[in-house]
Amino acid sequence: MPGKKPPIALESLPPRERQILDTVYRLKEAAVGEVRDVLDDPPSYSAVRAMLNILVRKGFLDYRREKTRYLYYPVLSKELAPQSLLRNLLNTFFAGRPAAAVAALLNVAADDLSADDLREMERMIQEAKSQLE
């Protein structure tokens, strides 16, 4: 099932499920306790386990058994995951407005951007404009 797109959109997940999914992505593979240890203000162990199983049923995660524990891992391919997560980020924090996200990125990363980075961004903007015409 790796690389297969889940039947529902990432944006439709409740906030806690998205948080748990994001945590599993960061950890790459994790047991219930490992996910719980990373969460701020974590719910109970059984609540985390239940949400992981919900994410399995929804098609976002899968699991494998290792001795006495289950290890959960993402199903979305690396190509689809960033797009889904970015869409969620845009909708959650920037009201779906890419320009607001770019402005925030430029504000936060201004000191880390090289001239090459800025040229590449300009090229992508020009390419996007030409596709609109």
pLDDT digits 0-9 by tens, 47-83: 999 999 999 998 889 999 999 999 999 987 656 666 7
Residues 60 and 107 in one domain: no
Q: How far from the centroid of its chain's Cα atoms is residue 129's Cα?
A: 27
| CATH value at residue 35 | 1.10.10.10
- Give the range of the structural domain holding residue 69, as residue numbers without chain letter: 1-93
pTM of the model: 0.59
- Picking from 48, 47, 17, the residue whose alpha carbon sits closest to that of residue 30 is 48
Residues 65 and 109 in one domain: no
**Could you tell me the pLDDT band of residue 4, with boundaries at 50, 70 and 90?**
low
Residues 108 and 70 in one domain: no
Cα-based distances in Å from 11 to 21, 43, 106: 12, 21, 25
What is the number of domains present in the chain? 2
Per the CB < 8 A criterion, the answer to whether 35 and 22 are in contact is no
Residues 86 and 114 in one domain: no
